């Protein structure tokens, strides 16, 4: 999952980005409203954390421009505790949730998880597909109750497919949501990581759709699994 953090306070930006990365997210950052608006308009994000008090262009204006342009990614706004009017303005501009400063990073992480689940139509923090279970709070994967050790990128790939289970996800979409803007992206590496995931999971859940991408669902057949090789 790929998150954009738009925050002009460098210490707070670093804190948020670090906490998100430690929890398995890919993070891009922006330090002012103009840069944040550009990234949010041109890059595909699964969620955005947006400060309202930004230089160059304030957060409300950024959010209004995104929504006017048809950008629908969930947005969590950061507000000053004593500015209830900012909360109202942010929600009216199209925000999905807000957190008042100062805050605990655990609350930010919990609200981000909620926004991601809500966007995927998932009501709990555990995602189950057949015998596989993903605990999104702990970034932990089990199959039939047995833990599966995954690398950070393998987990991100599996988590993204799980949040979109039953839908075909193209290689291009996976690359866009698994790597940050500065990464040298190569869609061919996705096939390698899918192969590793299949071996580690030991169950046929990731289906290859020839020429289209991948789909996570219960009971993906052997023919589909072998289609990637």
- Provide the pLDDT for residue 155: 93
Residues 28 and 90 in one domain: yes
Residues 186 and 212 in one domain: yes
**Can you tell me the mean pLDDT for 186-203?**
88
pLDDT digits (tens, 9 = 90+) for 204-217: 899 999 889 999 99
Split into its structural domains, the chain has a count of 2
Domain membership of residue 151 as a residue range: 126-226
Is the confidence at residue 187, as pLDDT, over 90? no
| Percentage, residues of the chain above pLDDT 90 | 72
Is the confidence at residue 228, as pLDDT, over 70? no
- Provide the pLDDT for residue 229: 35
pTM: 0.81
Domain boundary among the residues 77, 100, 120 is at 120
For tokens 């702990």, name the residue. Answer: 138
Element (H, E) at 120: helix 105-120
DSSP assignment letter at 169: B
**Can you tell me the mean pLDDT for 180-190?**
69
Residues 104 and 131 in one domain: no
Q: In this structure, are residues 70 and 35 in contact, taking their beta carbons and an 8 Å threshold? A: no
Q: At what angle do helices 59-68 and 33-42 cross, to 10 degrees?
A: 20
Residues 201 and 182 in one domain: yes
| CATH (domain of 93) | 3.40.50.2300
Is the confidence at residue 80, as pLDDT, over 60? yes
| CATH (domain of 216) | 1.10.10.10
Residues 172 and 96 in one domain: no
pLDDT digits (tens, 9 = 90+) for 112-155: 999 998 877 787 889 999 999 999 988 899 999 999 999 988 99
Helix and strand numbers (H, E) in the chain are: 9, 11
124/131 Cα distance (integer angstroms): 17
């Amino acid at each position: 999952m790929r998150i954009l953090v738009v925050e002009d306070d460098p210490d707070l930006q670093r804190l948020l980005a670090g906490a998100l990365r430690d929890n398995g997210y890919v993070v891009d950052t922006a330090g002012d409203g103009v840069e944040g608006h550009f990234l949010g308009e041109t890059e595909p994000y699964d969620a955005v954390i947006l400060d309202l008090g930004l230089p160059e262009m304030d957060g409300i204006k950024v959010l209004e421009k995104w929504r006017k342009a048809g950008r629908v990614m969930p947005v969590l706004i950061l507000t000053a505790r004593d500015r209830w009017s900012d909360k109202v303005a942010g929600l009216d501009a199209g925000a999905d949730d807000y957190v008042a400063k100062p805050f605990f990073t655990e609350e930010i992480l919990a609200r981000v998880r909620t926004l991601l689940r809500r966007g995927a139509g998932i009501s709990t923090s555990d995602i189950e597909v057949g015998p596989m279970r993903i605990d999104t709070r702990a970034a932990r994967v089990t199959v039939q109750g047995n833990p599966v050790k995954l690398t950070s990128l393998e987990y991100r790939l599996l988590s993204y497919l799980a949040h979109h289970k039953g839908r075909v996800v193209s290689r291009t979409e996976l690359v866009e949501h698994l790597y940050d803007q500065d990464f040298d992206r190569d869609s061919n590496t996705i096939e390698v990581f899918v192969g590793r995931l299949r071996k580690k999971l030991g169950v046929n859940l990731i289906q290859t759709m020839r020429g289209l991408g991948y789909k996570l669902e219960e009971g993906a057949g052997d023919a589909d699994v072998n289609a990637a090789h």
